[in-house]
Structure formats: structure tokens, C-alpha cells
Amino acid sequence: MLKGFILKGIAGKYTVRTNKGDLTCEITGKIKYDNDRPIVGDFVLIELINEEEKRGMINEILPRKTELHRPKVSNVSQAVIVFALKNPDPHLNLLDRMITFAEYTGLKTVICFNKADIVTDEMIKEYREIYEKVGYSVIVTSVKEEKGKEELIEVLKNEITVLAGPSGAGKSSLLNMIQPNLKLRTGEISKKIKRGKHTTRHTELISLNKGGWVVDTPGFANLDVSFIDENRLGEYFKEINDCRHLCKFNNCMHLNEPKCAVKEKLKTKEMARSRYESYVLMLNEIRESRRF
């Protein structure tokens, strides 16, 4: 049996990297009738069917360290969340949703603000401060100026990274910047709705020359958080988690309760209002979903 690593899966055929090169593999009948199908990022055991034609059969899926469901990918170690600073304007609630999802999944998170060449230094500083104050690493990039190129390469080394963010943020352009031979398709921004057109059609693992793997995924339109327990939502906001033990009530939800440490943090501007508003919006959505 060969051990392999799934790079791509389309229409029941999987591209699997092994020490005998990349093989095109299908799955055995046993796996076909199992609920757990192979996904990109899986380590698998393969039976070599035809070495000359580079064909194999996946017989077993090995245990996963992590598993994401949107995008469907396993064994990811970090998320680099890419948002444009302008064109389209950053939707901070969507960014906070993606951060919350990464925190929930246990991924290391890096935030990448792209298109720095079309905004002011003051705007860059404003957005950086919101997330660096929380404790996140923030990279500022510009494909046009190749700004942040080396920093991004370093962040991606020795990691399996999901590159997430809305369409139009420049994810494919950033990958082309750090590795031009990829020649990934990029899209223009719709002038009417100021959103990007989807350019990535399927989930695929991309090997980087300087080290590491990246999951290039279709852009996200929204992110449902209704599966999160409302009593644990605050754990996935670092600034809330750091001080919630100081609240008067152990079950404080940081809304209208007296002597709430989180609300005090908001008053003193130790917590960004946009982050708090994202928390409240998600909490209300979770509660609303429980009604049905």
C-alpha cells in the first residue's frame, strides 16, 4: 500500500501525491458506501493499479487532525483571511465571522489586508489596530507594488493553509504574486455591485515552491454560525474571552447585565465597537435559529 495526500477531487476522481508521483485515483466500493468520503487534504492508503498510467485505488482514509466543512478540506493548520481594503470595501462583520469560525476550528489565524496601494496610510492603520490589539498577526499587501510579498511567503511556510475571504479580495492574485508560475485565474470587480466575480471553481491544494501548501477555495458569500453554542460564542472572541471571568455573573452574555467587564472594555475603547457589534449580531442569529 502506498501512502498519499489528496490534492484535488473532481467528479469522483482524486489527484493524490505519492512517492511515485501524482496518481489519479478512484475509491473502493467499501468507501463508496461509507458516509465518510475522501476530501482534499486527506492522507490515504492507495493500491497502485497501473504505474505506467499513474492510476490507483483509494482503500483507506487515515485519521484527520482537523476538518473544515466550508470549504471541505482536512488537516489544515492555519487560516489566512484575505480582505481588500477597498474595491470592495471590507465587510468587518464577515471578517469577524471567518475569524470566529477559524477560532472554533482551532486554526492559527492571520489576517491579510490587500490592495494597500489604493487607500491611505490612515485607513491601513485603523484596520490594523482593530485586529492587532486583539492579538492577531496582520499582513498588509499590494499585488501592484508587491508589498508584503516576503512576509506572506514566510507565513505560508511549513503550513497547510486555507486562504479564505470574499470574492474580489485578491486571493488568487496574491498567490500569483508569490509564485507566478501558478497562473491562477483572477477576476475583475463588478462595477455595479462592487463585488468580485468567483474565479476559483473547486477546492484544490497548491504546493508552494518556498514551502507549505495552500487551499485555494471559492470565495465566501456568507458564513452561518448558528451551529455554535450561544454560551460559548464569547470564547471565540479573544478580547471577550480574556476578561469574561471578571463579569459579575458567570453566565453573563455581555448585553445588558450589570457590572459586565466586556461592556466596560467597550467604554474605554479597549475593544473595538465593530467587534462587539459582530458578537451581538452573531449571538442574535444563533438565538433566532434555536427558535425553529
SS3 228: coil
pTM, to two decimals: 0.84
Please give the domain boundaries of the chain with CATH numbers for all domains.
2-63 (2.40.50.140), 68-216 (3.40.50.300), 233-290 (1.10.40.50)
pLDDT tens-digit series, residues 83-97:
999 998 899 999 999
Q: Is the pLDDT of residue 199 over 50?
A: no
Mean pLDDT of 131-150: 97
Q: Is 158 left (phi over 0), alpha (psi -120 to 50) or beta?
A: left
**Residue 214 has which C-alpha cell?**
495552500
* Least confident stretch, 1-15, 45-59, 190-204, 275-289: 190-204
Q: Is 87 left (phi over 0), alpha (psi -120 to 50) or beta?
A: left
Distance (Å, whole) CA 4 – CA 20: 9
CA distances from 143 to 151, 211, 213 (A): 13, 20, 20
pLDDT tens-digit series, residues 53-104:
999 999 999 999 998 876 788 999 999 999 999 998 899 999 999 999 999 9
